[in-house]
Structure 1
Amino acid sequence: MSTPPPRPPSRWRSIQAMAWALLGVRKGSEWHKDSAHIKPLQIVAVGVAAIFVFVLMLIAIVNWVV
């Protein structure tokens, strides 16, 4: 009996992994699971999107304050 191939991680799992990495809080076992399943392209895409959202939030805060 063969085992089914592992499912690719969802976008949500990639976003969670990136969020925990940005905060610097991550369990070693979870990091190993993610590094085995998440592709580097997914990490780069989520990271670029997170930076874009962060910059937009900073612009909105500055416009709101000024």
Structure 2
Amino acid sequence: MSKENEVKRKAHLGATIKAVLWSFFGIRKKSDYESDAANLNPVHLVIAGILGAALFIGVLVTIVHFVVAK
């Protein structure tokens, strides 16, 4: 693959986090999705998604721990 054919993805961290949070919520405009697909780095999305899921699970475990604690 030549450098001329490479796609430069220049979205910042905030845009990646925003896309991941919207995906957890499940609501997204088609135009926003297309913009994300064109601008966001897929590796960064996967990493942010895994971290977001781990954080979500950690929050749920913490809530359950406090609810069932005596």
Give TM-score, length-normalised by structure 2: 0.78
* Equivalent residue pairs, number: 61
| Paired position in structure 1 for 2:37 | 35
Measured after TM superposition, the shift of residue 10 of structure 1 is 1.0
- Runs ≥4 in structure 1, deviation > 4 angstroms? none
| Paired position in structure 1 for 2:53 | 51
CA distance in structure 2 between the partners assigned to 1:7 and 1:65 by the alignment: 44
Measured after TM superposition, the shift of residue 16 of structure 1 is 0.5
In structure 1, stretches of 5+ residues that fail to align are: 1-5
Give TM-score, length-normalised by structure 1: 0.82
> Over aligned residue pairs, what C-alpha RMSD do you find?
1.4
* Identical residues among aligned pairs (%): 31
